[in-house]
Structure 1
Amino acid sequence: MKGYVPADGHIELGEVVPTHTQYAGEVEPQPGVDVRPIRRTTIGRSGTRGAGLARGKTLVRPERYAPPAPMLDAKKADHPFDPWVITSKIVTFWALSSFLKWAGLRDPSMRQAWREKVTLCFFILIAGGTVAFLTVGLSRVLCPPDQATLSLNYIDYGDTAAGGLVGIQGWQYNISQTKVLPNMNFYTVGKIPGTDISNYFKDRGKNIPQCDNPSPSSVANFAAISFDICSSNNGLNGCPLDSINSDLQAEYGLQPTGKQVGYDWSQMALVPLQNFFVIDGNVLNLDPYIAANPNPIANDPVDDAIRTVLGTSHPQGGKDATILFSRTSELKAASECLQIKYYAGHLDKDTAGCMTAQIYLYVSLVVILSLVFSRFIMAFIFSWAISWRLAKTPPPPPISTAPQLTPTPDLARNATLKRTGPQHTQQHLPPWAMQPFRRDTGSVIEPKAAPEVGNDLFTAMLVTCYSEGEDSIRTTLDSLAQTKYPDERKMLFVIADGIITGAGNDKSTPDICRDLMEFESGEYANPEPRSYIAVAQGSKQHNEAKVYAGYYRIGQHRCPMLLVVKCGSPAEQDKPKPGNRGKRDSQLILMNFFSRVTYDDRMTPLDYDLFRKVQYLMNVTPDLFEIVLMVDADTKVYDTSLRLLINTMINDPLIMGLCGETKIANKTDSWVTMIQVYEYYISHHLGKGFESIFGGVTCLPGCFCMYRLKARSKDGEGWVAILTKPEIVQEYSQNVVDTLHQRNLLLLGEDRFLTTLMLRNFPYRKMMFTPKAICKTVVPDQFRVLLSQRRRWINSTVHNLMELVLVRNLCGTFCFSMQFVVFMDLLGTLVLPVAMVLTFVLIIGIATTPIVTFAQAIPLTFLFLVLFSPAILILLTTNKWIYAAWMGIYLLALPIWNFVLPVYSYWHFDDFSWGETRKVTGETKGDSHGNKDGQFDASTVPLKKWSEHEKDRMRRIKRAERHRKARESGRFTTSPRLHAIPAHMDNPSLISLSHDSDSEYTLYDSTPHDSPSASPMLVPRNMPPVPPLHQQYRNNIQHSRQNLLDSM
């Protein structure tokens, strides 16, 4: 069955309309068989003109083909049992559908988008809470504040720097001002700083509930529990001093320090501490008990345990009785009494939890420092060692391998275009680019020496317009036309997205663009609209556009210019914004056109019209274009930028896309523009510079970027489609955008999503940043506009990073991979608000609590490095110290960047409008080109191959020729619709036809002006002779027309 395959055989490309003109003559699908369209494949012909099915050695390997990511699957519908749908309904179970309807969400898709938004915000809160816990909470759980500050509350035993101190019941007292008592000399007993003198005070160890009423009560009978520390046999002849209290302290001159006595494990082996041991970190002094009971006591388990632990001393210290006193209930009860009765101090060591918290803190410091410094160092290396080499002037290519304007005979017979997907086969180049033609005698026409492409690659400069004013558009076109690049190798490709009048403009955007052009004929200044399939739903899929062909003149430059005005179908002329389909649709007009030209696919009438007018302007066929520069209509490009970008493409054939630096043109217009200057600079030189080391810049800004349409294969005999790859064009042109994820990707962040598609389909090619190529753009100067713009950017960033993080074959491995970088960027974007809150908490904590230890300074170190390390990059990469001042302004606005904008964006995940960014006269909030309206009739847009379009055109020429001959023979009256034809135009192959409508044609002479057969002719009023093409192309096209005429 021609043109159809079973559903399980190929990827679905879209709905099948059997009555569509593109399937004319094909077998109708059988009942009960699921059929889907496949792309037609041109198989090589026998002989020397075709190469058949084969795959050569190209820059793209079969294993590099990447299928669509599972998160963005056009075939996957929102099923009620989809896990994500179920999850969103579980999280939002409290929001009943009736309540959401009452709140204004009447459409089911809007309610589901709201539920998905709330679910995403819920998961963002979880991620933020997790980061906050790991940053602050984990340390507090492992090491509570009362334990974290223990080391600060101790003065070590034996610390000579703390001389004049003694320990009383675990607390340090200063004895420098004490009086000399008759029965006590504090200086004598306090020779060793921190010496425990608790046993000198009366009432020591008395009135302790844990000792007087233990549980079990039998514990009270054990000697160590019932022992009176102030007994006469305690080794001190009793307790010479009264009970310690504030009055006694004042009387004796004892001054409390507020610090506790701290001991070290190794000190437990010292002779003065031979009767000390530890329970649960508490140091106990058993000197009076051992002095009163030098021998073991029979049937006393507590005494036995005490002597056991005291007898285990070794030179390294120790004597921990914690485990020993936890074996029985009696020993546990006894330990509670002993820890109070004989307490002398505490081990001056962190607990296990505090040690774990410190290890975690140090590991975090190392990891974060590694990330910060690696990003900084790599960006520095790129700036100093790599970037300057990217755009250096390439050497002229060898003549034998340089791409030519026309293929040689051998290349024409064997040239192939190679696809990169596993399901694709090798295909022949289109007939206008490779077919050798024969003279009437049968000999092959040998082409003359063709001019070489060299290093001046044919480049289309795409400028997408919407509601910009004349000044903005003129500035952009002036800068592009004045770039230091040959005018004959660059073409302005301007697309006006609908009949739009921007707020404050007195003319529509298409009229502004048209008035800036210079035309050679009325026919190219007043074209007829041509149909194409737009990126929309319902009847909006049918759109029409007019193609104006002329020149843009500025100074000595006369740059070829195409203006495509999306004017809409006749049915939408009375509706707001006719023809408007969005920026993605504008990009796809160019992408679809060059993809169909590259693969000789079926063309829409708009594609065919573009083909003929590109050929008219450039004197070459469109398949020779290799590069596209994408620029917004409010961007001014430096005159050296285009050449630098082209040089970068030539120097490294693996580069498939790149961007330059975007600077701000209106830096000082308002505080809103001022806070963006440093953010723009650092996002390029630090962010994109770091990503360029991996060759994986994750976002090429739509205002200024360049893509490779196709790349020459290694053997030089074929091309590898890049931006024109069918998988990229197909996925980028999705018109069924239902899920929240798809809408954020395709309706808000089309530029970033295009970069994502390129990285996913060509993971081993490069996306680079060229800092020497510079442009300037106008940024929002009002906060509400900035808020709307960053809402779109942040939300599209989140969803694009969710796509990229699933791509496994990006360069690198584990933590040293581009995938890990993408994951960290995604995580960092999601937790920005929490990070801002934690920053304020940190600043307040530092202001209220002085920093004593290095561990306390670690968070401050984090903050300092993250905020100020980019300043070092500024100093090393540029001599413009003014950026340090811009950094200060940026830091003052940090709460806006890291809290206000992200929180606003996350809560507006389900807002897919452009908001305040581009205002249009008379536009309301509900207007959207993505809304579905009616049903699409596929028969309104015929799809035909180039040869079929040419055949139809030649039929019309032959019919017009018959009418002319009939008129001359007197068989019918001269038609006012046909003009006189010179006698030398008897050969139909030399006639070109331009049709202004389906019923009126204008004939003109395409013979070169220097032809011997040229004679005075009646040139049509609205169309001059077509500029002469290169001789080989002219021969090819003429012969192709002759063959078509002969076959009719």
Structure 2
Amino acid sequence: MQDKVYIGNSEFSSVPRIRGKKSSIWSKIYPIFSILIPNGVLKFCGMKSKEIRNAWREKIALVSIIFLLCCLLGFLTFGINRVVCKGNNQFIYGNLPKFNDQTVVGNGELYYCDEAEGLVRNLKTKTPTSCKRFFGKQITDEGLDPSNMIKISDIYFNFSDIKKLNLIAIEDKVYDPTIVTHNYFDDFIKQYTGKKADGNNLDPDALKCFKDACYFGKIADHTYGCIVADVLLYLSTVIIFSIIALKFLLAFLYSWYISGKTYISRVDRTSAGRMSRQNAIQNSNSNQTNDRIFLNTIMLVTCYSEDREGIKNTLDSLCDQNYDNKLILVIADGLIKGSGSDATTPDIIIDLMTVYHRSEASEYQSLNGTLNRGIVYTGTYTSSTNNSSDPSNVSENQLNHQRNNNTCKMMAIVKVGREDEKTKPGNRGKRDSQVIIMGFMNKLLYSERMTDLEYAMYESFIALDFNPMQLDIILMVDADTIVHQDALLYFNSAFVNDTKIMGMCGETKIINKASSWVTMIQVFEYYISHHLTKTFESVFGGVTCLPGCFCIYRIFINENGTVTPIVSHPAVLNAYSITKTETLHDKNLLLLGEDRYLTTLLLKTFSKRKLIFLPKATCRTFVPDTFRVLLSQRRRWINSTVHNLMELVSVKSLCGTFCCSMQFAVGVELVGTLVLPVSIFFTFVLIIVSILGKPAWIPLIMLACILGLPAILILITSFRLQYIFWLIIYIFSLPVWNFILPVYSFWHFDDFSWGETRKVEGEEKTETENVDVKTETRLFTLNEREYAKSRGRDVTELEDELIQKSIRQMDQLPGGPSQK
């Protein structure tokens, strides 16, 4: 059997995991864009580190490419006709501005004349002799003397001008029938006015008279270049219209039909709360049913610098879930005190929970390649939410159910750092916190050697009577997110109903909608990003971003006796736990958009499985209420979006083929994101030109569809007219969304900090740099049997001992069995 190396084994953990170290075409291309700027100048400007200088040069290259892409879009929009279409060099009547009082059109030519008063259509520079020969007299009136005029150019007409001016086209020339006065031509003029005629129903001499007397111009040439330009115009129009219409129709279909079939609506909600895991094991008749319907869930809350109220609201919402097979895991990312807080985040967490066991500071290897230490707290959390305003009106069984539902098993991990750490001890980032639990589950499945911290976690799971090998799904939320009490039930139901689903997200709603103009412009943007973008992607099972503030993944899935790891899969975990990045692209993936990158890795690894959006599962959160914080947040989001789409667009295994594929949709979204700044500029140009001149109907209709179809989608999906108000505010804020935020983000491609989003007490702004990887090999690991042997027990005896110990400790707690 071929040896496999998984993250966390003793051989692999001692080697830094580096992404992007190998030379690539990009590493040879990006320096060209800034070749004229020597390193000495960059050092003088404060870029001392080689990595910072390389990141800056990569940024310049990317910004230059985006600029060229915007120029290409401008050329295709405004310049291609002037270059490839010869007709643009002709004086076409319909394309010319309004004629002034000294402009004269006659005999197929455009003149300038001082004596003219407005547009004169019946100018004649000669008296045709052909009419006198046929009719015996002249049939036209005398015109202006051309000797006093200056010829500008020949004049050309499109067929739209011919119809509008009641002209007649014969062969490649245009004639004005109003010039002749003889009634011989009445029937001919009546039949062909505004049309093209062949002249076969006229006498040849009469036809020659008509041509000589009424000549007014030429039909505008339609060259091969014009044909190419028109084909490109209509092809792009059809593609864009098709994408707009398809996104709308599929979003409507998913909202009204598909999403309702994703979850099992017949599941009894109360059974989840009333039937605990322990009772299910004791009841063999119920065991199979409940194991099939209710999956064991771990609810991960990653904390950094949140305040007490935010953390408490999140834990209350998780504890109050109408679901019993759950455990709360909170990971505090360092000994951090938030700005304005009177206690550190770990102190707040420990104070909120009931602790009955605390481990020693246990070591593990963090993602920056150094050792870190964590303390595991085992206990319970009791929600302060009241499910009933009048307890006297409910039965004793209902009170017991309420009490059980409001108390949840909880584990807290506090990363305290090494003893020599002074600044933000233990802080290693959100991704490091996620990898702690993901790597732990991976090692359990593959029986890999575990660190001290992971065995402290293992002991905590056993003490909580929660077998970690039986965990099925992991819910990830931020510490400022309030989850609706039915969300976990809907997620679970969808997982049970469709085994192909490997991850989901719900709808995130805004709490502080009217706090400021900054929050107001985000309401519609949040709604449409879920109910248009994510619903469209869900039809293909390829949602490109499951937001880290509220998402859920499968840990393992057992199909026909075969256990397949999903979020804990070695391929996903190895790529997600890179210790050092070499390129700006990798830094944006791993340092800014780790949540989106996890989604990308799952799509790349499991292209046949699904990532979907479940609108029934909802949560609420606070959004930035100042523009400074919004700017910092969206910088991270936009840059991570661009780089993750770059990753996905190269994945050929995504569902669909060519234009009807998820890969094509990702490519369109990537290009659309990059050209946002210039697209909003072109939109304003289009509107102004349409007001002052001839409207460009195709782009205007396209713009109306882009803005109007989301409004229709809102009305038929939410039935809430208030969102029309938020749509209007969003339209007025388009310059912010499509110009200010993207331009700021692109120019800060090389900024990998979290900026103003998470402020820490006493934190100063520091230069962005990459942490050096200092691999430490003094970390000892043991497998499960070695660990049990070190305690003088076998595995089964150790588990039984831990369970009995936890029962005795819980029995002594206030409200425990011995206290009732």
Number of paired residues? 734
Name the structure 1 match of 2:41.
99
* Distance in structure 2 (CA, Å) of the matches to 1:1020 and 1:849: 79
Name the structure 2 match of 1:345.
216
SS in 2 for 1:656: strand
Shift of 1:666: 0.7
Shift of 1:248: 10
Q: 1:913 to 1:315 in 2, by over 3 A?
A: same
SS in 2 for 1:495: strand
* Distance in structure 2 (CA, Å) of the matches to 1:1007 and 1:342: 109
Q: 1:858 to 1:149 in 2, by over 3 A?
A: farther
**1:652 matches 2:498:** yes
Q: Deviations over 1:259-318 (max 9, x none)?
A: 969698xx9xxxxx99x986xx6999xxxxxxxxxxxxxxxxxxxxxxxxxxxx99699x
**1:678 matches 2:524:** yes
Alignment of 1:336-375 (within 5 A): 344-352=215-223, 353-354=225-226, 356-375=228-247
**1:905 matches 2:745:** yes
Name the structure 2 match of 1:863.
703
* Distance in structure 2 (CA, Å) of the matches to 1:395 and 1:630: 23
Alignment of 1:656-735 (within 5 A): 656-713=502-559, 715=560, 717-735=561-579
* Distance in structure 2 (CA, Å) of the matches to 1:509 and 1:153: 69
Name the structure 2 match of 1:985.
none
Q: Deviations over 1:565-596 (max 9, x none)?
A: 00001221xx1110000000010111011111
Alignment of 1:473-622 (within 5 A): 473-486=311-324, 489-519=325-355, 521=356, 524=357, 526-537=358-369, 541-554=370-383, 556=403, 557-572=406-421, 575-617=422-464, 619-622=465-468
Q: 1:390 aligns with which of 253, 257, 262?
A: 262
Q: Deviations over 1:316-356 (max 9, x none)?
A: 99x9xxxxxxxxxxxxxxxxxxxxx9994322345325454
**1:117 matches 2:55:** no
Q: 1:814 aligns with which of 658, 663, 672?
A: 658
**1:199 matches 2:37:** no
Q: 2:472 aligns with which of 621, 626, 629?
A: 626
**1:463 matches 2:301:** yes
SS in 1 for 2:292: coil
Name the structure 2 match of 1:785.
629
Shift of 1:126: 1.2
SS in 2 for 1:548: strand
The residue identity in structure 1 corresponding to 2:528 is I
Shift of 1:1008: 8.6
Q: 2:251 aligns with which of 359, 376, 379?
A: 379
Q: Deviations over 1:427-477 (max 9, x none)?
A: xxxxxx9xxxxxxxxxxxx99889442322110000000000000000000
Q: 2:31 aligns with which of 89, 92, 95?
A: 89
The residue identity in structure 1 corresponding to 2:414 is V
Q: Deviations over 1:398-427 (max 9, x none)?
A: xxxxxx989xxxxxxxxxxxxxxxxxxxxx
| Superposition RMSD in Å | 4.3
Name the structure 2 match of 1:307.
none
* Distance in structure 2 (CA, Å) of the matches to 1:796 and 1:263: 49
Shift of 1:231: 15
* Distance in structure 2 (CA, Å) of the matches to 1:493 and 1:479: 14
* Distance in structure 2 (CA, Å) of the matches to 1:465 and 1:755: 21
SS in 2 for 1:501: coil
Alignment of 1:789-804 (within 5 A): 789-804=633-648
* Distance in structure 2 (CA, Å) of the matches to 1:903 and 1:930: 24
Gaps of 5+ in 1: 17-21, 24-35, 40-72, 155-165, 174-192, 202-228, 250-257, 268-272, 285-312, 320-340, 397-403, 407-432, 434-445, 959-987, 995-1003, 1010-1018, 1029-1048
CA contact (8 A) 2:751 2:768 kept: no
Gaps of 5+ in 2: 98-103, 112-119, 163-167, 177-197, 205-211, 269-275, 387-402
* Distance in structure 2 (CA, Å) of the matches to 1:15 and 1:395: 39
* Distance in structure 1 (CA, Å) of the matches to 2:456 and 2:221: 80
Q: 1:316 to 1:749 in 2, by over 3 A?
A: farther
* Distance in structure 2 (CA, Å) of the matches to 1:232 and 1:388: 83
Shift of 1:75: 5.8
Q: 1:836 to 1:172 in 2, by over 3 A?
A: closer
Shift of 1:863: 1.2
**1:947 matches 2:785:** yes
**1:134 matches 2:56:** no
Shift of 1:88: 1.5
CA contact (8 A) 2:19 2:580 kept: no
Name the structure 2 match of 1:847.
691
Which protein has the bigger helix share?
Answer: 2
Shift of 1:516: 0.2
Q: 1:947 to 1:813 in 2, by over 3 A?
A: same
* TM-score, length basis structure 1: 0.64
* Distance in structure 2 (CA, Å) of the matches to 1:529 and 1:928: 30
The residue identity in structure 2 corresponding to 1:816 is C
Q: 1:481 to 1:827 in 2, by over 3 A?
A: same
- Bigger shift: 861-870 or 558-567? 861-870
CA contact (8 A) 2:92 2:156 kept: no
Q: Deviations over 1:989-1038 (max 9, x none)?
A: 589878xxxxxxxxx975999xxxxxxxxx999999x999xxxxxxxxxx
Alignment of 1:64-463 (within 5 A): 74=18, 76-77=20-21, 79=23, 82-143=24-85, 145=88, 147=90, 149-151=92-94, 168-170=106-108, 198-200=125-127, 244-245=144-145, 344-352=215-223, 353-354=225-226, 356-393=228-265, 451-452=287-288, 453-463=291-301
The residue identity in structure 1 corresponding to 2:21 is A
Shift of 1:145: 5.0
Q: Deviations over 1:377-407 (max 9, x none)?
A: 00000011111221233669xxxxxxx989x
Shift of 1:718: 2.7
The residue identity in structure 2 corresponding to 1:375 is K
Q: 1:904 to 1:697 in 2, by over 3 A?
A: same
CA contact (8 A) 1:659 1:705 kept: yes
CA contact (8 A) 1:658 1:769 kept: yes
* Distance in structure 2 (CA, Å) of the matches to 1:502 and 1:930: 24
* Distance in structure 1 (CA, Å) of the matches to 2:445 and 2:721: 48
Q: Deviations over 1:29-51 (max 9, x none)?
A: xxxxxxx8999xxxxxxxxxxxx
CA contact (8 A) 2:305 2:345 kept: yes
* Distance in structure 1 (CA, Å) of the matches to 2:776 and 2:229: 67
* Distance in structure 2 (CA, Å) of the matches to 1:1020 and 1:367: 64
The residue identity in structure 1 corresponding to 2:441 is F
* Distance in structure 2 (CA, Å) of the matches to 1:1007 and 1:831: 59
Name the structure 2 match of 1:972.
none
Q: Deviations over 1:812-847 (max 9, x none)?
A: 111001000100110100010110111111111112
Name the structure 1 match of 2:193.
none
* Distance in structure 1 (CA, Å) of the matches to 2:554 and 2:569: 11
CA contact (8 A) 1:501 1:920 kept: yes
* Distance in structure 2 (CA, Å) of the matches to 1:383 and 1:719: 32
* Distance in structure 1 (CA, Å) of the matches to 2:140 and 2:806: 130
Question: Radius of gyration: which is bigger?
Answer: 1
Q: Which is bigger in relative contact order (C-alpha 8 A, separation at least 6)?
A: 2
CA contact (8 A) 2:588 2:752 kept: yes
CA contact (8 A) 2:328 2:409 kept: yes
SS in 1 for 2:246: helix
The residue identity in structure 2 corresponding to 1:755 is T
Q: Deviations over 1:200-254 (max 9, x none)?
A: 29xxxxxxxxxxxxxxxxxxxxxxxxxxx899999989999988339999xxxxx
